[in-house]
């Protein structure tokens, strides 16, 4: 029991430190932008627009932290019935259409109308949203993302920049981002949330690919 408590405390302290570290960067940028807005001849509209982006980044981080906390405390029931995958894939594709266009990433859907996955609708939405966001933020211009569903299987495959093979096992760690990804938007929690939801439903997640070979993330669920 004491070892478990000690491990939990180390995890809590580490997680708190990571959250604090991740919030410092947008806070520092926000302070610089607001100070710049007070200078003579400053383009206040542009600076305020950039400041809003930093506030939005912080809000997304806080939302992700709170959601992950809810999952880990058992307040969210992950697997409760099944959900038809195609409507959720189409809904997420429509939701990310603007950001995908800005990033020059095409989004395709591949799923039969009758395919169901063993997740609550909200949980499936969150998993698909985070998979889509990950590719849109990191795949690179000219890439194509395919979101597909089969019985017991959910996949997100892009043909973008990819990730170094040695980094693949770490993609699902909280706040882990490669050096290249650190210049992009994202809380570093999206794929950690994907893994937590899928594993909580009795499934497993794996990533494959390589530098210049795109990224494939597969979520496998147990047979009903």
This prediction has a pTM of 0.68
What pLDDT does residue 221 have? 93
Tens digits of per-residue pLDDT, 5-45? 554 454 454 455 555 656 676 777 888 888 888 888 889 88
What pLDDT does residue 20 have? 60
Domain boundary among 53, 72, 91: 72
Range of lowest pLDDT (39-48, 52-61, 103-112, 196-205):
52-61
What pLDDT does residue 142 have? 95
What pLDDT does residue 103 have? 94
Percentage of the chain modeled with pLDDT above 70 = 73
Tens digits of per-residue pLDDT, 144-201? 999 999 999 999 999 999 888 888 888 888 655 554 444 444 446 778 888 888 888 8
Compute φ and ψ for 192, nearest 5 degrees. Answer: -65, -40
Query: Has residue 155 been placed in a domain?
Result: yes
| Residue carrying the six token digits 């597969």 | 218
Expressed as residue numbers, the domain containing 132 is: 83-220
State whether 156 and 214 are in the same domain: yes
CA distance 10 to 200: 22
Domain boundary among 12, 40, 72: 72
pLDDT band, very low/low/confident/very high, at 114 (cuts 50, 70, 90):
very high
State whether 68 and 88 are in the same domain: no
State whether 12 and 97 are in the same domain: no
Q: Give 141: exposed, middle or buried? Use CB within 10 Å, 0-12, 13-18, 19+.
A: exposed
Domain count, the chain: 2
> Residue 5 carries which DSSP code?
H
Query: Has residue 77 been placed in a domain?
Result: no
Domain boundary among 72, 103, 129: 72
CA distance 49 to 96: 20
132 against 171, higher pLDDT: 132
Q: Where residue 46 sits, what CATH number does that domain have?
A: 1.10.287.130
């Amino acid at each position: 029991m004491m070892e478990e408590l000690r491990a939990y405390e180390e995890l809590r302290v580490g997680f708190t430190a990571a959250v604090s570290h991740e919030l410092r960067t947008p806070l520092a940028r926000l302070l610089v932008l607001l100070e710049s807005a007070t200078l003579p001849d400053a383009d206040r509209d542009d600076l305020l627009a950039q400041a809003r982006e930093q506030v939005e980044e912080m809000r997304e981080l806080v939302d992700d932290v709170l959601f992950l906390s809810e999952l880990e405390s058992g307040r969210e029931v992950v697997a409760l019935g099944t959900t038809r995958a195609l409507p959720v894939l189409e809904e997420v594709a429509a939701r990310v259409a603007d950001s995908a266009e800005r990033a020059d990433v095409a989004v395709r859907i591949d799923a039969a109308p009758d395919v169901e996955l063993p997740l609550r609708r909200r949980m499936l939405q969150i998993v698909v949203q985070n998979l889509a966001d990950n590719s849109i933020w990191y795949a690179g211009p000219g890439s194509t993302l395919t979101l597909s569903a089969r019985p017991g299987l959910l996949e997100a495959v892009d043909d973008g920049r990819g990730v170094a093979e040695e980094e693949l096992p770490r993609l699902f760690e909280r706040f882990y981002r490669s050096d290249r990804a650190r210049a992009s938007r994202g809380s570093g929690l999206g794929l950690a949330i994907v893994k937590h939801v899928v594993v909580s439903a009795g499934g497993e997640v794996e990533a494959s690919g390589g530098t210049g070979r795109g990224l494939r993330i597969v979520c496998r669920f147990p047979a009903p």
